[in-house]
Amino acid sequence: MTAATIVELETQHTASEASPLAVLGLSGTALLTACGGGGEGSTSTTPPAAPDNSPANNLALTDAARFLRQASWGGTSQEIKDLASTGPQIWLNGQFNAPQGQTLTRWLIEKGFNDASTSNNVNGDGGWVQAIWWKLFSATDLFRQRAALALSELFVVSQLGLPFSWRNFAIANYWEILETNSLGNFRTLLESVTLSSAMGTYLNMKGNQKYDAKTGRSPDENYAREVMQLFTIGLYQLNIDGTLQLDSQGNPIESYDNLDTQGLARVFTGWNTATGTDASGELANAAYRHGLPMMLNANLHSPEEKKFLGVTIPAGTPGVESLKIALDTLFNHNNTAPFISKQLIQRLVTSNPSPAYVARVANIFVNNGKGVRGDMKAVWSAILMDTEARQVNPPPSFGKLSEPMVRLLQWGHTFHATSTDGAWTLGYTDADTSLGQMPMRSPSVFNFFRPGYVPPNTQVASQNLVAPEFQILTEPTVVGYVNYMAGTVNSARNIKADYTTEKALATNPAALVSHLNLCLASGALTPANQSLIVNAITSISATTETGLLNRIYAAVLMVMSSTDYLIQR
């Protein structure tokens, strides 16, 4: 495949050469096509009509492929056929009951990353990068992993912000918290995240102390602020459909103020690293304690009255009880259901869900039909089985830009990629810098991109739409992605794909491209782009196995570099 072929495929639309949209082949109109829907600032309070959310018994292959791309890392041809036969709810039910598998902590131990004589284990990355790629490429509980990745971009902890020894085990434990609670209850997830050693360090709750009149020290407000702003209620009061509540002058109403932050900050005092030793002797005690919830030192907990969000915790209330009241308040706040529901829809399905879609999911968050609030299995089902997600022919305004790390994982799953030596060294620097994204390495607590990000000077902005993933779409990341995948699809890295199915099709370029269109792009490739790719790979001789593989490499790379693929519909 020549560079000219890639450029031709990627520049189907006219745009400024300096624009990242031009590199992707997306004009403003094409971007709107990918990211349309209801605007974030609308104020509709009309109750949504009850949808028909009954599972389809026989999805078409393209619809099955779309579902698997939303709910996991896409699907192999056999998985797509099976889903088309059985329906998505049966697949979801199976995934909800799938065993969790080996933990990251156990993998790190088995690979020797608990060896205290190695500096990188104690003070460096200590195998964490390899561990997370191993987990995401290899785990069979596909939906749990997809859900955990989505939650990691909401409850952000970044390895870049953990400046202490044995952070590999701290962040491994944090991923396990997301895994374990992703299919449980949101209230339990919120508490587990709050008390984790990794989060405690990342947002300064660990070691936070009560007010000291002698020194003038006040409780650190960082976690109090972020747990409201990012993890539960957001900045502004919301309707159940995620739209903004407005005051009499038409302005958004803030959901909390500085006094709320100060009152809540007092709750998060007195907590620090747990005590204890590893009886098995497998871990250094510091690493072991990173895997335990933080513990309360009552002497360092603020004894004063705590007022926030209309709640008053009386002076002298024990710290554990204060924490329970605070987290219950956030969990039950009217904003939490729509605020969380909309972001999870954005991560899996579409950047701009309609207010009605958000309301339907939020109402399930409030009550799963059995009187339970925060049932994550019910929430995930509502997101993926909603009529807006499952519409057979989505409108041009539906979809989202697929994240680079999710594209890489889709390639790995579709083609059964495995590590050639079991070490899963995909290339730490390569994956982080070339893809512009890597699990649990966000540059800040605000994730790689903001849920309300609007590309400036575009029709997206003029029509009050958002396109979160475009915040990390730049000329370097676009070119880096193509170059990284070019060195990945041909098994040049320490990860090898199984192209057995594709080799059987490679003598027929049209059949190969049709197969890749279904498995990778969910049938979204236009006839023109299919012809372009077919013509390009036909020029590659297929008289030898090397030739067949070269055809496959070129076809996979061109499909995964096309705008039809990059925009998940």
**CA 243, 247, 249, 251 torsion-angle sign:** negative
Per DSSP, the three-state class of 312 is: strand
- Give the separation between CA 484 and CA 253, rounded to whole angstroms: 45
- Give the separation between CA 189 and CA 96, rounded to whole angstroms: 16
Residue-wise burial string across 383-410, b where 16 or more C-beta atoms lie within 10 A, e elsewhere? bbbbebbbeeebeebbbbbbbbbbbbbb
- What is the per-residue pLDDT for 427? 57
Mean pLDDT score across all residues of the chain = 89
In this predicted model, what pLDDT tens digit does every residue of 97-140 receive, in sequence order? 999 999 999 999 999 999 999 999 999 989 999 999 999 999 99
In this predicted model, what pLDDT tens digit does every residue of 166-181 receive, in sequence order? 999 999 999 999 999 9
- Length of the chain counted residue by residue: 569
- What is the per-residue pLDDT for 433? 60
- Give the separation between CA 495 and CA 206, rounded to whole angstroms: 38
3-state SS, 498-542, equals CCHHHHHHCCCHHHHHHHHHHHHHCCCCCHHHHHHHHHHHHCCCC
Q: CA 419 → CA 91, 287, 494, 547, distances in Å?
A: 27, 27, 6, 24
Confidence of residue 462 (pLDDT cuts 50, 70, 90): confident
Confidence of residue 28 (pLDDT cuts 50, 70, 90): very low
**Residue 260 burial (CB count, 10 A):** 20
**Residue 117 burial (CB count, 10 A):** 6
Residue-wise burial string across 478-514, b where 16 or more C-beta atoms lie within 10 A, e elsewhere? bebbbebbbebbbbebebebebebbbebbeebeebbb
- Give the separation between CA 441 and CA 168, rounded to whole angstroms: 12
Question: Which residues, including other chains, have CB under 8 Å from residue 433's CB and lie 6 or more apart?
Answer: 480
Residue 25 zone, left/alpha/beta (φ > 0; ψ -120 to 50; rest): left
CB 542 within 8 A of CB 507: yes
Task: Using only the alpha carbons of the chain, give its radius of gyration.
Answer: 24
- What is the per-residue pLDDT for 482? 92
- What is the per-residue pLDDT for 464? 84
